[in-house]
Chain A
Amino acid sequence: MNRSHLLNFPNKKIFAVCLFLLGVFLLLRKSYLYNISVESITGFVFIIYSVITFYQAFNEGKREILIIVTILFLTGVELLVKTNIDIYDARGFVFTSVLFISGSIFLILFLENTKQKIFAVSGISLIVLSYLSTTIFKKLGIFYLTNKIANLSGFFWPIVLIIFGISIFINRKK
């Protein structure tokens, strides 16, 4: 049976090995033989897979894969940082990392096609903003506002997800 069409993403074998190792580590953790947090394991898996896939995606100019791999890599780093370092204000961390990750994506897109200066401008602006969010914005009390919005969205975001889901489902044949 030809099942190659089922899941279309690169480096299936490496992803398969990563999944297998993730499962084994989670089982070991469950049996208290090896104590490592789920976040750390997931972080390592994300980093390993993304670093290997990045090279291939960059060579072949697969932009959608490049974006996904950049997000995976930085999420992996974030997970590792979060588990190893105590962060005082976790919501501010989300604000900063969203800016940083989006900035990195635009920078990667610029490196892939250096003719597109708009990606460089957007990437650098977002990374500068992410840096400022940890320094000046914090002093300006912007995190207070972030926390307020986070509290509100924490209550309403399931409704937003459902609405988005239904709208895509209705318009799926477009």
Chain B
Amino acid sequence: MDDQNAPNRNEDNFFDKMDNTKPSVIIKKLQRSRNNVIIAGVCAGLGEYLKIDIAKVRLLVLLSLLLGGWSITVYLIAAALLPRESIGDYLSENDVLLMKKENYRTVFSGLLVLSGLYFGFELLGIRNNESIFILPSGFIFPVITIAAGVYLFSIKEPRQSVKTVNLTQNYFRSRKDRFFMGVCGGLANYIKTDSASIRIIMVIITLLTLGFFAIIYFAFTLLTKYEPESSFEFPQ
């Protein structure tokens, strides 16, 4: 019987020793993020390592494209060399959805600022579109397009079950998400997209059509109702 208990005694000793040891220092490693990923998780990894807002890192990387596209090379090298985070944080479905929404907004806003700066520089005559890196831009763009095509083709799509779609959902102006009459918020809710993008598109189209599009906005205001009171939630 004593022999059988011997390993247990050893285990006890081991845990006794563990209690006496000092808490080990967590070594922070630069690695690609597992959860917060848009392309390869490099920006998120860098943000977590430097304890900077990840969105700001992404914005900076996007804006650095103005310097001739070298950041793409640096990004690809980092994506190839950096290890991936072994265990990601547990995120609920709602957290993932919110994170995706925020990431989408970050990329969209970054692209808007990037194109604004690009065309602004072009207007001021500050632009170099002859070459990206050392290679001529007429060569590099087709190569990037082909590479993107091959990359997308290599992605294995999981077989998805056909989702039941709520085709009976009607259009209502939004009570919660509104600036003026809730038309854009309602439209965003109807087509399941971001309301900020809808508003921007609406403003741009109204300007481009000399205000004609505003007639449609008012038609929506007059001919459609607000969403029912039951779905209205008071802000906390």
Contacts and interface: CB of A to CB of B under 8 A. Distances in A.
Our verdict on whether A and B bind, yes or no, reads: yes
Given A165-B113, A172-B102, A4 B145 contact: no
A4 B116 contact: no
* Residue of A60, A63, A117 with most partner-chain B CB within 10 A: A63
Contact of A165 (B112, B147, B192, B216): B112
Nearest to A67: B191
B145 A22 contact: yes
A142 B149 contact: no
A159 interface: yes
A118 B220 CA distance: 7
Interface string B140-154: 011111111111110
B171 A118 contact: yes
B38 interface: yes
Contacts of B213: 99, 102, 126
Nearest to A10: B157
Contact of A99 (B84, B147, B209): B209
Contacts of A126: 213, 216
Does more than half of chain A's interface fall in helix, strand or loop, or is it mixed?
Answer: helix
Taking residues whose C-beta sits less than 8 angstroms from the other chain, chain A's interface range is 35 or more
B155 interface: yes
B212 A16 contact: no
Contact of B153 (A17, A22, A142): A17
Contact of A12 (B59, B123, B152, B196): B152
A125 B153 contact: no
Contact of A162 (B39, B116, B165, B166): B116
B152 A19 contact: yes
B1 interface: no
Contact of B37 (A6, A27, A157): A6
B116 A125 contact: no
A53 to B, nearest CB: 14
Nearest to A22: B145
B205 interface: yes
Contacts of A99: 209, 212-213
Contact of B150 (A16, A60, A172): A16
A16 B152 contact: yes
B146 A24 contact: yes
B212 A23 contact: no
A12 B149 CA distance: 9
Contacts of A121: 219, 223
Nearest to A20: B149
A5 interface: yes
Across the A-B interface, give the 6 residue pairs with the lowest CB-CB distance, nearest first.
Answer: A165-B112, A161-B116, A20-B149, A23-B146, A19-B149, A23-B145
Interface of A: 1-7, 12-13, 15-24, 26-27, 30, 60-64, 67, 94-95, 98-99, 102, 106, 109, 112-113, 115-119, 121-122, 125-126, 129, 142, 145-146, 149, 153, 155, 157-162, 164-169, 171-173
